Structure 1
């Protein structure tokens, strides 16, 4: 006999308690206790005729997975901004709506990017290690010096929601902001930032560089691009590890061309290139830019809002 209260939604990744509670109440959702892989998602959907799926990186659905989904699935919701873990175009071909949560992460990611800028410029990793070892030695006027943030020029690659939010914060620290993107932003969105039509033209002007574009394809930052930065520049990445040739970054850091780096993302997550952990001039965090209670709740709620819209026969709020 058919289920009297069929599951409408599969939550295939771990989500905050508040998000899980709403999903169960509103959609009779099945909420996994550990992140599911893609084929487990497909198998569950076939067995339970679910209409919506909320996935994560581990359950990223590629073409073969999407082709195997039952026709009941109407939406694949992402609780993050990025969708590089799935085949969006093929899902569209199959008539499945794909959504993301582009606004939920903006402010916290911008906060975190500034944390990386400040920590890399002011040698936060080194200072913290000194204190945990017990300090015990005063430093003189010429020792353990960082580089000042105020007055520096920050280059932003990608002037979307997050890039613009970082620019506002940087201007609050007295930084000059330059940026590059596919097209120039409106004067009101620029808020005094200077546009460069391509990355190569902008890099020589960047004393600090921060990436805010999607990953995928060839690395954006290679030996050539790092070489275009002025000597003593600081590099920050809270976007995607795939944007960076890590051999080139390591060489730039060890040669002294870069003063330091602040990194939250890596090419082979979660198995980070151990060379970076050995460098004193790198501030490292484990892909945590959105990791606040408020943001993670909002990410989940945004995904559920999109599910509700599709299942009610309305347009998705955040279609990809």
Structure 2
């Protein structure tokens, strides 16, 4: 009987692709929906116990089910003690206090694996654009101006380079950073440098010819192009001092989170010529884009769409459900990100 099944709270929009898997999920759980409640309404629903003692939360899309705003301690404190797992779409988790979830015994799972290929492809585009100044050429062509077309056509060659043989410094050689490194070595013949909180296994390093830097500033001084591919941990990673330590004429690419980079410092470095170019999928004040960066022909800007593809969305749906089913069937989720804060007794 459905009344005896544990309750799962589905946040946001309807399932679009993985209908068979969702039907399988519904045989194991009584699914309740919040749809797209705003924060005040959602808080009231939790306080009134509207959804019951749900054991899991599932958010299959990054652009729905987030209307309640950041998942901070205020919101998390309202969750029932029965809740044990939150599986959400997307790669980043700067909008959710994963430590606070852990303190309540809740495993948080992201879905970075589902968008790895899409993000890596977009990163390669941004890297290429930073070396070849594709933004300048594209703007000139779209202007339909003969003068701008001739300017780009005649002058770009003198100030652009092929990326092969140059070094790519990856900050965060995780799943996405590693896939970008694979593509950059195979397709662009770049040399890989990397900095991370821990050194990767020897076989991983060898597979992309990666050189490890324990100190970030040491890598910044050597890399021809720096790629930010690490989660946001609450503070800027590339502040004025870090950007100043970058190699003169280097490029800076960000496919992680906008708040990792000090944008005024980036603008100043580009204006002074200390940095040659930048490629930004993400921005400090999204959805606002820094107008100074947007106006520069040596800066490629996107609308946080590096991971946006049908394949990513299909994978987000699927991985979220797999996380929940695996957790209750085996005791372990597929892609948890906050286990370091969870007490073993709470799993």
Instruction: State whether TM-score is above 0.5.
Output: yes
Distance 1:109 1:15 in 2: 24
CA distance in 1, matches of 2:134, 2:153: 18
Aligned partner of 1:98 among 104, 108, 111: 108
For residue 261 of structure 1, report the CA deviation from its aligned partner.
0.5
Structure-1 residue corresponding to 2:245: 228
Q: Residues 25 and 141 (structure 1 numbering): CA distance in 2 closer, same or farther, change over 3 Å?
A: closer
How far residue 95 of structure 1 moved from its aligned partner, in angstroms, is 2.5
Partner of 1:75: 85
Q: Which has the higher helix share?
A: 2
Q: Provide the residue aligned with 2:9 in structure 1.
A: 10
Q: Which has the higher contact order (CA 8 A, sep 6+)?
A: 2
Could you tell me which runs of 5 or more consecutive residues in structure 2 were left unpaired when the two chains were aligned. Answer: 338-347
Report the Cα offset of residue 187 of structure 1: 1.8
> Is 1:47 aligned to residue 47 of structure 2?
no
Displacement of 1:188: 1.0
> Quick one: structure 1 residues 253 and 19, their matched pair in 2 at CA, closer, same or farther if it must change by over 3 Å?
farther
Q: Which position in structure 2 is the counterpart of 1:256?
A: 273
Under a length normalisation based on structure 1, what TM-score does the superposition of the two structures give? 0.88
Task: Could you list the structure 1 runs, at least 4 aligned residues long, displaced by more than 6 angstroms after superposition.
Answer: none
Aligned length: 318
Deviation, structure 1 residue 298: 0.5
Match of 2:191 in 1: 176
* Comparing 286-295 and 12-21, the one that deviates more: 12-21
Query: What SS does the aligned partner of 1:105 have?
Result: helix
Aligned position for 2:341? none
The question of 1:143 aligning with 2:155 is answered yes
2:127 aligned residue:
117
Who is 1:185 aligned against?
Answer: 200
Q: CA deviation at 1:212?
A: 1.1
Inter-partner Cα distance in structure 2 for 1:271 and 1:24: 39
- Alpha-carbon distance in structure 2 between the residues aligned to 1:16 and 1:158: 32
Task: Say if 2:15 and 2:22, in contact at 8 Å, map to a contact too.
Answer: no
Q: State the TM-score, normalized to the length of structure 2.
A: 0.82
Task: Please point out which of 170, 194, 202 is paired with 2:211.
Answer: 194
Aligned residues: CA RMSD: 2.7
Superposition pairs of residues 292-311 of structure 1, within 5 angstroms = 292-311=309-328
CA distance in 1, matches of 2:23, 2:38: 21
**Deviations for 1:151-187, whole angstroms, at most 9, x for unmatched residues?**
1111111111111111111112111111111222222
Give how far 1:41 is off.
3.7
What SS does the corresponding residue of 1:270 show, helix, strand or coil? coil
Q: 1:105/1:140 Cα in 2 relative to 1: closer, same or farther (>3 Å)?
A: closer
**Distance in 1 separating the partners of 2:222 and 2:155:** 28
**Alignment check: 8 A CA contact 1:15 1:300 kept:** no
SS of the residue corresponding to residue 77 of structure 2 reads helix
